[in-house]
């Protein structure tokens, strides 16, 4: 196993991990505020088509990313109106948002089937980005660097800042937060919109970097993996980063094992492995005492101020 080979494999891992890491980071903030939005897949798809369509029409990928962000946030805001202002059930509304996102993206995307755009490439000079060694650090799209910076920033925000403390308070005990004067609903609106914006960016990663084309449902269920990852990480940013890369390594390992002819395990086992490990880790987390890895206490519950 040569160094080049390891670097090539790492590049694959980083590529497939990034959209999952992004979407999960956004959802982490949403869930920390006490809201569960199961519409990640739908919001991603809205971002996927928005990013692609705008980049294709204008030739400007940055504008594409911006519109993907806004599209994800808009989809999330529709969800927020339903669950936060109108008191709709969060689980049902989130599932509906996924179906809505699939349908809307397919509708808009029907004009974009069979078209390709240029992929968004590394912001660094070619000499570094294409170097057989340095490409492991410099050879990625801006999405990769943004995802890592974002998850670290979210960890810092939640744990080290006053605003993060307020966010946690809203998620852990909305009535107390309300009684000392914090605007619970407004904070949740902001968190949900933020999660949607990031899901939109995650979606754009698919249609602008990974495979620069539009095809219906091209996120292929990654939104659900992102949701599982938040639970898997015990609602902690550091573990979310580690967990996302762990999933990415597993996916790449499966492909390398198959391609090199040493399956190690049967194909079906590889396909089931991420879920198997998720179940084991969840069992381990729930069997441990203490505040470690617990869901925010108000997760999924509507906020009904008393008086």
Residue with smaller CB distance to other proteins, 162 or 262: 262
Q: Work out how close the CB of 270 gets to other proteins at its nearest, in angstroms, rounded to a whole number.
A: 8
Of how many residues is the chain composed? 307
DSSP string computed for 58-115:
HS-HHHHHHHHHHHHHHHHHHHHIIIIIS---HHHHHHHHHHHHHHHHHHHHTTSTT-
Q: What is the smallest separation between the CB atom of 128 and other proteins, expressed in angstroms?
A: 17
Beta carbons of 50 and 43 less than 8 angstroms apart: no
Other Cβ atoms within 10 Å of 155 Cβ, number: 19
Rounded to an integer, what distance in angstroms lies between the CA atom of residue 52 and that of residue 50? 5
Give me the least distance between CB of 203 and other proteins, in Å please: 11
User: What single-letter DSSP state applies at residue 119?
Assistant: P
**Count of CB atoms situated within 10 Å of the CB of 252:** 19
- The residue among 152 and 216 lying less far from other proteins, judged by its C-beta, is 216
DSSP letter, residue 289: -
CB of 125 to other proteins, least distance (A): 18
Which is nearer to other proteins, 43 or 177 (by Cβ)?
43
How far apart are CB 32 and other proteins at their closest, in Å?
Answer: 27
Residue ranges binding other proteins (CB under 8 A): 5, 8-9, 11-12, 15-16, 19, 99, 102-103, 106, 109-110, 113-116, 119, 206, 210-220, 222, 251-252, 255-263, 267-268, 270-271
Query: How does DSSP assign 75-90, residue by residue?
Result: HHHHHHIIIIIS---H
Closest to other proteins by CB, 127 vs 283, is: 127
How far apart are CB 232 and other proteins at their closest, in Å?
19
- Which residues have CB under 8 Å from 286's CB, separation 6+? 293
CB 289 within 8 A of CB 229: no
Pick 153 or 276: Cβ nearer other proteins: 276
133 token code pair: 């060694």
74 vs 106, beta carbon nearer other proteins: 106
Name the minimum Å distance from CB 88 to other proteins.
18
Torsion sign (Cα): 275, 17, 52, 111: negative
- Smallest gap from Cβ 230 to other proteins, in A, equals 19
Nearer to other proteins, 176 or 211 (CB): 211
User: For residues 29 and 226, which CB has a smaller minimum distance to other proteins in the complex?
Assistant: 226
Q: How far is CA 248 from CA 7, 71, 155, in A?
A: 14, 27, 20
Alpha carbons within 13 angstroms on the beta-carbon side of residue 176 total 10
């Amino acid at each position: 196993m040569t160094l080049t080979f390891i670097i090539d494999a790492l590049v694959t891992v980083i590529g497939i991990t990034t959209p999952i890491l992004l979407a999960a980071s956004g959802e982490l903030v949403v869930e920390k505020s006490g809201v569960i939005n199961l519409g990640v897949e739908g919001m991603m798809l809205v971002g996927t088509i928005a990013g692609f369509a705008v980049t294709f029409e204008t030739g400007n990928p940055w504008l594409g990313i911006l519109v993907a962000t806004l599209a994800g946030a808009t989809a999330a805001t529709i969800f927020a109106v339903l669950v936060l202002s109108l008191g709709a059930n969060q689980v049902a509304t989130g599932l509906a948002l996924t179906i809505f996102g699939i349908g809307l993206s397919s509708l808009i995307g029907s004009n974009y089937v069979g078209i390709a755009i240029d992929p968004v490439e590394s912001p660094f000079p070619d000499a570094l980005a294409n170097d057989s060694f340095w490409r492991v650090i410099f050879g990625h799209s801006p999405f990769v660097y943004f995802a890592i910076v974002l998850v670290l920033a979210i960890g810092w925000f939640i744990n080290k800042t006053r605003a993060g403390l307020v966010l946690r308070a809203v998620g852990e005990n909305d009535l107390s937060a309300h009684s000392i004067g914090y605007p619970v609903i407004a904070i949740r609106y902001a968190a949900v919109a933020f999660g949607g914006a990031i899901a939109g960016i995650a979606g754009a990663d698919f249609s602008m970097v990974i495979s620069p084309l539009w095809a219906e449902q091209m996120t292929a269920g990654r939104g659900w993996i992102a949701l599982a990852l938040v639970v898997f990480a015990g609602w902690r940013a550091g573990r979310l980063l580690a967990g996302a890369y762990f999933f990415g390594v597993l996916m790449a390992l499966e492909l390398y094992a198959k391609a090199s002819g040493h399956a190690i395990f049967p194909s079906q086992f590889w396909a089931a492995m991420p879920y198997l490990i998720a179940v084991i880790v969840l069992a381990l987390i729930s069997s441990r005492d203490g505040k470690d890895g617990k869901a925010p206490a108000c997760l999924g519950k509507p906020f009904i101020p008393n008086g």
